[in-house]
Structure 1
Amino acid sequence: MDSKKKYWKGLEELNRTPEFVEKNKHEFAEPLPIEEVLSGAGLASKTPRRDFLKALGFGVGAVTLAACQKVPVHKSIPYLIKPEEVTPGVANYYTSSHDGHAILVKTREGRPIKVEGNPGDVLSGGGLSSQSQASVLDLYDNNRVKDPQLNGNDAPWDEVDRFVKQQLAAAQAGGKKIRIITSTVNSPSAQAVLADFVAKYPAAKHINYDAYSYTGIIQANQQSFGKAVLPHYNFDKADVIVSVGADFLGSWISGEEFSRQYVSKRNSKALESKKMSRHIQFEAGMSLTGTNADVRMPVKVSEEGAVLVALYNALAGTTLPGTKKLSSPAAEKAVVLAAKELQAAKGRAVVVTGSNSVAKQVLTNAINGLLGSYGTTIDLDNPSYQYKGNDAEFVQFINEAKRGEVGAVIFLNANPAYDYFNAKDLKDALGKVKLKVSFSDHDDETAALCNVVAPNHHYLESWGDSNAIAGFYSVVQPTINPVFNTRQAEQSLLIWAEAPVQDYYAYVKNYWSKNLLALAGLSGEAGWETLLQTGYVKTTPAAASTAAFAGNVTAAAQTIADNASKMAASGDDKVEVQLYLNTSIGDGKYANNPWLQELPDGVSKVTWDNYAAIAPKFAEKLGIEEGDVVKIEANGYSVEVPALFQPGQAQGTISIAVGYGRTKAGVVGNEVGKNVYPFASFRDGSIHKAFVASISKTGDVSPLAQTQTHHSYEGRDVIRETTLKDFVKDPTAASGHGVEHKKYSLWDEHDRPTYDWVMAIDLNACTGCGACIVACNVENNIPVVGKDEVKRRREMHWIRIDRYYSFHEEGKVVTEEREIDDLASLDHVTVVHQPMLCQHCDHAPCETVCPVLATVHSSEGLNQMAYNRCVGTRYCANNCPYKVRRFNWFNYWNDSRFDNYLNNEHTQLVLNPDVTTRFRGVMEKCSFCVQRIQAGKLKAKIENRPLLDGEIKVACQQTCSANAIIFGNRNDPNSEVSKALKSERTYYVLEELNVQPGIGYQVKVRNSFETETQA
């Protein structure tokens, strides 16, 4: 372990601000509302705290006695004729797909309650993103459109169908164009439906439009190789990775897939051979990927192109137009070292760029061509179909509509009235279109401009399929009957096209029977049923071939240089702004999902808002304090957002997340944050989300709801990391593995004869994405509390991802043998993510202080909560060194104050009946998904066999694409968790306190530049 390193969660803790010090003087955010509780119970409001238990003790006793009185028994009505596939109390699982991933959907008594990754999914191997985990809640969203609408009024489907067919026929006959605007469609069956529709109406054209576009990559590949495709990247085949602004572990293209690939070269299995990949990141804003990099260098947005030019020059031995030195000497040196690393790893290296600039992507292609990456780390022969958006075609559609050439437009899974940068232009254009149809299941910003709203099914009510990547086909099947009077969009198109087969289930089945089942050697009804059980079909991928680069590098470099000169900010009030996509709200489609709104950002830990991330040193120069509302002005548009001090942010830049500022998302998402899409611009064939703006203070202050600094470890040793070089020398030096701490006990040790449930967490595998948080929320009925309650430190998450920054002693780093002042040193920080949950300690300090035995230890090593015993003293939270226990300040699931979040007649249908919903005044915390443990044991017992290792997966473990979490029985020496805990990297957080935690962490290892270059 690097003894010189000091770790801190946020700038409040680093600087020991008065507010932080004051808050952390107390164990609790605020005292219990004693007066309110006691007065409600008819007791004296001045009752001392010590008498509170006495008062409650009497009250509890009285209630208990009252509960013993005989009352009439009302029997529930059983199934008169039980459906064959439904057994009350037993879950059913269905295969389906979401965002191209093969998934499994858990249903109870006919209602979907949980989504899991399908282990056969080629993208994530069974993992799932936070958005997919939360998607089940959208099914029960009371803000969905409940009936079709015609000219603003509810109308029956047959009336809507007559009107649409009449208008389409009139447009076709009148020589008008018909346009179908969709987000990327990679469903083979849906593509066939669109083809049938175009056959009926030859004036129709399908346009793929993505709010966050990858047109730059697709068009660059057309120019470079004659293939307009999005490549399939193989980070698991790369020994050296250089990323220039690409958040490939977060929101860039396929975060779950890339995380699984990336970690396979860096986790425990990889480190057994004492080797790991090296990752170098150049970026303006601190991204999730940047936090995981071995070497991260902040550079301005305007300098990203210069980084690529310098890399190409070093590899090709040439000097391209626009060659110039970077403003940061450290970044300049890092480019030179990165080029040497790439050169040494030809054929085993990859360079990726996050920009949507065609020129930057062409230059990136040229670099990868020099490295021999095509056919190994980059595959053009088995491309990704996850994004197909064409920015130029959408701009062309708007121009056609403005000229009055379009007679009808249909929107499917697209909301350009919100997320297109020039929404006013779009609205003006739509004013000249006679028929405007939206398939949105919400009355969103685009649907509000349409005269027909034909609400689509939620995907859990739908039939369909997906082809996210070449050779992998997955099926979509409904898991519940439609909740509202909606209809699948594809079926509507078939009806309007007067197709011979208008039932979409029959259409999908016929399509698979004719085209896809044979790929897996299946056929007929039996083959179809097999598909529905497995959920997917995989074919042998085509051989990945090398590709000869044929692009114009000089022209690309010149374009980059020209744009950079326009981009470089000038003047004291000017700043370079970068718009980015986060992993929770994304492009804004999920803005009405409260689980995602309350998911802390992976880097900033902010909830329920977007903000201007700014470097502390640059903020000081501008006179900005954290929380100050700043006005950003550019391109004739302005927004006012709070400022957040972000270590690692490049000087002279700010970053703002898109996806916020919705006006018609629903009661949860409306007016949360500000819409920054209008800042974007269209040039050189693609939409760009970086620009120069002026920045000024408004005088207002808006504190952000952050979760990161709600607790402090007071400088205790919780994070341990090392470099690969030091790890190879002494694998146990950082972890202290094998060093025995003295153990004391006032009680007899717990006997665990059969099971001892424990967990191992690999810090090298955890990327900090937060999918585990949402999976835990869904599985364990964890409520959402809202922005105001988060600001009061009342969030309810059972698992959190702690993010730690670090630099050398006294907040200084040494770069080129000179010390940089403290604020500037915040440009160069390293980050470690640590999942933190109840440690299920064998000597649990919470158990010894509970006066009513509400928290006790089981014979299987679990620290358990008996909710009906808990009286809310919070002594356990006071005594927990990990601060992982949560107190219910309100009855969140039934309190009218939380109606906008989870409490309505539909959303409570998502509750897991195997987990008790907790009431106001009780403590709760991670249970190691005890309901899953019991279900696994019961299944093994029924089948008269021993429980198998890996058969039980807790929710956080199951959703992790990186396999950072391992759970199992320590009593089984051959179990995966037992082997992991024996790793030389394993240590236990705060084990010196003699609490004997049940979760072992594996030391973070970084392959930084001081390590010798691998062969």
Structure 2
Amino acid sequence: MDSNKKYWKGLEELNRTPEFVEKNKNEFAEPIPIEEVLSGSGLSAKTPRRDFLKALGFGVGAVTLAACQKVPVHKSIPYLIKPEEVTPGVANYYSSTYEGQAILVKTREGRPIKVEGNPNDIFAKGGLSAQAQASVLDLYDVNRLKDPKINGTDAGWDAVDAFVIKELAAVAASGKGIRLVTSTIHSPSTLAVIADFTAKYPTTKHINYDAVSYTGIIQANQNSFGKAVLPHYNFDKADIIVSFGADFLGTWISGEEFTRQYVSNRNNESLEKKKMSRHIQFESGMSLTGTNADNRFPIKPSEEGSAIISLYNAIAGTTLPGTKKALSKTTDTAITLVAKELLAAKGKALVVAGSNDVATQVLVNAINSLLGSYGTTIDLDNPSKQYAGNDAAFVEFVSELNRGDVGAVFFLNANPAYDYFKAADVTAGLKKVRLSVSFSDHAEETANLVTVIAPNHHYLESWGDANAVEGYYTVVQPTINPVYNTRQAEHSLLVWSDNAVKDYYAYVRNNWDKNLFPKVGLSGQKGWESLLQTGMIKTTPVAAGTYSFTRDLNAVAQTILDHSNSLSGGKFELQVYQSQAIGDGKRANNPWLQELPDPVSKVTWDNFAALSIKDIKDLKLNEGDVIKVTANGYSVEVPVLAQPGQATGTISIAVGYGRVNAGPVGDNVGKNAFPFYSFRNGTFQTTAIAEFKTTGVISPLAQTQTHHSYEGRSVIREASFTEYKKNPAAGSGSEGEHKDYDKTTSLWDSHDRPVYDWVMAIDLNACTGCGACVVACNAENNIPVVGKDEVRRRREMHWIRIDRYYSYNDNGNSEEAVTKELEIDKLDNFDRVSVVHQPMLCQHCDHAPCETVCPVLATVHSSEGLNQMAYNRCVGTRYCANNCPYKVRRFNWFNYWNDSRFDNYLNNEHTQLVLNPDVVTRFRGVMEKCSMCVQRIQAGKLKAKIEKRPLKDGEVKMACQQTCSANAIVFGNRNDPNSEVSKALASERTYYVLEELNVKPGIGYQVKVRNLSELEA
């Protein structure tokens, strides 16, 4: 452990700003003036509660009716359990699919209330992203359309069918084109429906359009190897990983899958074998993946191409043009050493790039070919089908619209009026189309422009299937009857094309019987029931082949340099990216996602312009100052964020914000950054030259990063892989530090735990900081959303938070640098900081200081090691929060579930249907905190008791643990020496946060280990 290292959550904490010092004089969040409380104006209310619920609130009736009917119309098979009917108080689990990933859906009394990963899923083995966890809430969104519409007026399905069929006949007679614009579809049955529709109307063309595109990779593989596919990457087979701007642990292609693969070479099991992969990241803005890298190098977008060219030259021994152009000494030296490491790991190396530029991806292909990556870390023969968008095809479609060549257009899960960079062209073009149809279940930006809205089911109301990776097929089955008068888009297409099979359920069954079951030897009703129970089938994968690269690269390199030159003009360079929570903006109306702190910035409810610390100092800006950013002829006004690790001279802004027809939660939250895109060399580009000016406006950001201060106490412990190999206890303090604390005299009597001693282990080397556990905890434990204003007052209610710590060495030691010769002016630029993520929740201390100060015994210790809350005893003194050194207790200042001031978030009759009935909903004025999902513990114990057997290890999983693709959280019974948690806590890397206080926490952490380079220049 490096005693010279200093950790800090944010610049205000590092610099001890007056505002930070003043705020942290108080243990609690800012109080609201009493006059505001009495007047009820603590937060603005747009409308009285009764009127609000009429306009925006959800009626219970529709959902209750849907839940009480037989679920579903065609019999679904629950996962493992097959109840004859819904039993009150007993949960049923159904297998289904979320965006190609096999999931389990928990229902209570016919209502889906929780989504979990399927343990047999090939992507994350039971893990799920924050967006997947939050998807169940979208089912209960009152802003979903309740009926189809023609020209903005509600209509019945018969009227819609008659109108569309008549108009299609007229379009077909005219000879004009019919276009079906969708986001990537990898459902075999949906693709078959589209094929049948095209057979009926031969002028139909299907266009895959993804707002965040991977066309560059697909086209590069076509140019390089004659295979227009998105590869299936295998990060678990890579000993060294080099990424140029690819946020592969976050939003790039398949974040949950890559996280599981990546961590398998860096977790406890791997380290015990003295094995650890090495990861180097080159990027402009600090990404989630960048925070987890062993070495990270900030570069400008204009430097990325030169860096990749330089890497190729160092590996191949060639002299492609632009080798040294625009590269700093630090980056140039790093590239040279990285090339040596890649060559040393030939066959077990992987280079990836986040660029959507075809030439850049072609050069990356050439590098991977030289490294022998194809057939090992890259699989082109069992490709991913998660993205298939064709940028050039969509641009041509917009041109067709405006030329008047299109007679009919259908939009399925595509919203180009919002996320196309020239949305005005889409708006103008749709005015020239005779028939325009949207299958959106919301009246979103594109749907508001079309003739007909035929609202699609939510996926939890639907039948279907998916084939996200070659050879892997999953099923989608409904878990509730349609809440509103919606209809599956596939069913509509079958009706409009006069298909012989118009019922989509029957169509899916037929497709599986004829085309998919024969691949795995299943058939008939028995095969169908087996599919519904398991949720998936897997065919034998094709052997991954090796591929040689033979193209001349001089022209490719020149194309890359031309693009780089277009970005480097002495001005700022803009990079747009996806945030971990909001993504491309399709789920902007989901309050769980809006209030999820960004893993890096910890900002909620907004996007912003991230600038380097040096640039902010030079420009005399302050965080929260609103600037007007202009690029590609488009401008937005966004607040500034001072981001350590940001490359000097660059600006990063997230897309997915700035919606105007998302719903009351997502409307006008942040600004739309999609218009900063450009179309170049056949693909959408995400970088541009930018300039900006101050506006004089201040818009404080709702950040959570320094809400809970430890007052300088050490809570993070790190070691290098070299140190770990010499001493597995390096950095943990177990050389005697916490063993001595075990021997200290205690003022408390020890608690007896005759059967269970529930504890947890968290591996800092596995946790990536993604935040999925936060949303999973929200869903499981009925945690309210409070909104931006309350978050700014430090009143977010999350029971688990992910603390993000920056660090550097005070003595100037360049431990994180590639070579010892590289000196870094950290205090000036902050561009080479390292980052550690630490999940923090109630530690369930054996000597819990909260328990001794509660005057009403609202918080007590159980005989199973849990620190429990009796909410009906709590009178809100907050003494317990004052005494908690971990700052993990939450005081609910308002009755967030029933106060009209929070109607836009979760407080309405509709979203309350997602509540877990096993967990009490807390009224205002009490303390809340992690309960270790005690309801799950009790359910597991009850099941074991009924079956007259002991509770098995792993049978009870916490919500945060279950969703973690990295398996960073392990929970279990410490009394069982063979339990997974006992083995994890026995690791030499284990330490306990603030163990010097002798509160005896029940959660052990494993030291963060970084695989720093041992190579010398």
CA drift of 1:332 comes to 1.4
Structure 1 vs Structure 2 CA RMSD: 1.7
Question: Which residue of structure 1 lines up, in the alignment, with residue 769 of structure 2?
Answer: 768
TM alignment of 1:552-591, pairs within 5 A:
552-570=552-570, 574-591=571-588
The Cα offsets for residues 531-562 of structure 1, whole Å up to 9 and x where unpaired, read as: 10100001111000101224342111110011
Structure 2 counterpart of 1:187, one-letter code:
S
Structure 2 counterpart of 1:920, one-letter code:
R
Question: Which residue of structure 2 lines up, in the alignment, with residue 664 of structure 1?
Answer: 661
CA drift of 1:326 comes to 4.1
2 CA distance for matches of 1:141 and 1:608?
A: 18
Question: Which residue of structure 1 lines up, in the alignment, with residue 722 of structure 2?
Answer: 725
1:743 aligns with 2:750: no
2 CA distance for matches of 1:568 and 1:598?
A: 36
Count of residue pairs the alignment pairs up = 973
CA drift of 1:622 comes to 1.9
Greater Cα offset, 449-458 or 727-736: 727-736
Structure 2 counterpart of 1:798, one-letter code:
W
Q: Which runs of 5+ in 1 are unaligned?
A: 41-77
Match of 2:932 among 912, 928, 932: 928
2:68·2:109 contact (CA, 8 Å) conserved in 1?
A: no
Question: Which residue of structure 1 lines up, in the alignment, with residue 64 of structure 2?
Answer: none
1:325·1:332 contact (CA, 8 Å) conserved in 2?
A: no
1:154 aligns with 2:154: yes
1:780 aligns with 2:784: no
1:812·1:822 contact (CA, 8 Å) conserved in 2?
A: no
SS of corresponding position for 1:381? strand
TM alignment of 1:809-958, pairs within 5 A:
809=810, 817=821, 820-958=824-962
The Cα offsets for residues 705-739 of structure 1, whole Å up to 9 and x where unpaired, read as: 00010011111110000100011111113102263
Rate the CA distance shift 1:747–1:523 in 2: closer, same or farther, 3 A: same
CA drift of 1:743 comes to 3.1
2:342·2:371 contact (CA, 8 Å) conserved in 1?
A: yes
2 CA distance for matches of 1:308 and 1:258?
A: 22
CA drift of 1:810 comes to 6.4
Question: Which residue of structure 1 lines up, in the alignment, with residue 648 of structure 2?
Answer: 651
Question: Which residue of structure 2 lines up, in the alignment, with residue 44 of structure 1?
Answer: none
Question: Which residue of structure 2 lines up, in the alignment, with residue 540 of structure 1?
Answer: 540
Structure 2 counterpart of 1:238, one-letter code:
A
2:68·2:110 contact (CA, 8 Å) conserved in 1?
A: no
2 CA distance for matches of 1:204 and 1:497?
A: 12
1:315 aligns with 2:319: no
Structure 1 counterpart of 2:624, one-letter code:
G
SS of corresponding position for 1:418? helix
TM alignment of 1:313-462, pairs within 5 A:
313-462=313-462
Match of 1:693 among 690, 695, 713: 690
CA drift of 1:905 comes to 2.0
Structure 1 counterpart of 2:319, one-letter code:
T
Greater Cα offset, 550-559 or 382-391: 550-559
Structure 1 counterpart of 2:268, one-letter code:
S
Question: Which residue of structure 2 lines up, in the alignment, with residue 630 of structure 1?
Answer: 627
The Cα offsets for residues 616-637 of structure 1, whole Å up to 9 and x where unpaired, read as: 1011222221111011012221
2:808·2:826 contact (CA, 8 Å) conserved in 1?
A: no
CA drift of 1:476 comes to 0.2
Rate the CA distance shift 1:681–1:79 in 2: closer, same or farther, 3 A: closer
2 CA distance for matches of 1:465 and 1:800?
A: 35
CA drift of 1:745 comes to 2.6
Greater Cα offset, 730-739 or 961-970: 730-739
Structure 1 counterpart of 2:798, one-letter code:
H
Match of 1:682 among 679, 684, 687: 679
SS of corresponding position for 2:266? coil
1 CA distance for matches of 2:970 and 2:310?
A: 42
2 CA distance for matches of 1:963 and 1:531?
A: 27
SS of corresponding position for 1:173? helix
1 CA distance for matches of 2:595 and 2:176?
A: 46
Greater Cα offset, 587-596 or 423-432: 423-432
Question: Which residue of structure 1 lines up, in the alignment, with residue 795 of structure 2?
Answer: 794
SS of corresponding position for 1:159? helix
2:306·2:327 contact (CA, 8 Å) conserved in 1?
A: no
Structure 2 counterpart of 1:680, one-letter code:
Y
SS of corresponding position for 1:269? helix
CA drift of 1:12 comes to 0.5
Percent identity, please: 74
Structure 2 counterpart of 1:669, one-letter code:
G
Question: Which residue of structure 2 lines up, in the alignment, with residue 976 of structure 1?
Answer: 980
The Cα offsets for residues 589-630 of structure 1, whole Å up to 9 and x where unpaired, read as: 010000000000010000000000100101122222111101
2 CA distance for matches of 1:476 and 1:294?
A: 39
2:826·2:833 contact (CA, 8 Å) conserved in 1?
A: no
2 CA distance for matches of 1:638 and 1:492?
A: 40
CA drift of 1:31 comes to 4.5
Rate the CA distance shift 1:1011–1:555 in 2: closer, same or farther, 3 A: closer
1:966·1:977 contact (CA, 8 Å) conserved in 2?
A: yes
Question: Which residue of structure 1 lines up, in the alignment, with residue 608 of structure 2?
Answer: 611
Question: Which residue of structure 2 lines up, in the alignment, with residue 48 of structure 1?
Answer: none
SS of corresponding position for 2:592? helix
SS of corresponding position for 2:1012? coil
1:223·1:550 contact (CA, 8 Å) conserved in 2?
A: no
CA drift of 1:749 comes to 1.0
Structure 1 counterpart of 2:3, one-letter code:
S
CA drift of 1:37 comes to 7.9
Rate the CA distance shift 1:416–1:604 in 2: closer, same or farther, 3 A: same
2 CA distance for matches of 1:380 and 1:36?
A: 62
2:307·2:323 contact (CA, 8 Å) conserved in 1?
A: no
1 CA distance for matches of 2:265 and 2:419?
A: 37
Question: Which residue of structure 2 lines up, in the alignment, with residue 282 of structure 1?
Answer: 282
SS of corresponding position for 1:617? helix
1 CA distance for matches of 2:68 and 2:173?
A: 55
1:225·1:551 contact (CA, 8 Å) conserved in 2?
A: no
Structure 2 counterpart of 1:624, one-letter code:
L
CA drift of 1:377 comes to 0.2
Rate the CA distance shift 1:807–1:194 in 2: closer, same or farther, 3 A: same
CA drift of 1:144 comes to 0.6
CA drift of 1:26 comes to 1.3
Structure 1 counterpart of 2:432, one-letter code:
K
Structure 1 counterpart of 2:230, one-letter code:
L
1:362·1:551 contact (CA, 8 Å) conserved in 2?
A: no
Greater Cα offset, 518-527 or 6-15: 518-527
Question: Which residue of structure 1 lines up, in the alignment, with residue 74 of structure 2?
Answer: none
Rate the CA distance shift 1:292–1:906 in 2: closer, same or farther, 3 A: same
CA drift of 1:811 comes to 7.6
Question: Which residue of structure 2 lines up, in the alignment, with residue 84 of structure 1?
Answer: 84
Question: Which residue of structure 1 lines up, in the alignment, with residue 256 of structure 2?
Answer: 256
2 CA distance for matches of 1:348 and 1:141?
A: 46
Structure 2 counterpart of 1:639, one-letter code:
V
SS of corresponding position for 2:107? strand
Greater Cα offset, 513-522 or 398-407: 513-522
CA drift of 1:325 comes to 4.2
SS of corresponding position for 2:433? coil
2 CA distance for matches of 1:405 and 1:30?
A: 60
1 CA distance for matches of 2:69 and 2:767?
A: 49
SS of corresponding position for 1:664? coil
CA drift of 1:521 comes to 2.3
Structure 2 counterpart of 1:658, one-letter code:
V
Question: Which residue of structure 2 lines up, in the alignment, with residue 964 of structure 1?
Answer: 968
2 CA distance for matches of 1:184 and 1:828?
A: 37
Q: Which runs of 5+ in 2 are unaligned?
A: 41-66, 72-82
TM alignment of 1:176-255, pairs within 5 A:
176-255=176-255
1 CA distance for matches of 2:374 and 2:434?
A: 48
CA drift of 1:32 comes to 7.7
1 CA distance for matches of 2:634 and 2:930?
A: 46
SS of corresponding position for 1:365? helix
| TM-score of the aligned structures, taking structure 2 as reference length | 0.94
CA drift of 1:30 comes to 2.8
CA drift of 1:430 comes to 1.1
TM alignment of 1:477-556, pairs within 5 A:
477-556=477-556
1 CA distance for matches of 2:822 and 2:224?
A: 43
2 CA distance for matches of 1:282 and 1:593?
A: 32
2 CA distance for matches of 1:38 and 1:202?
A: 67
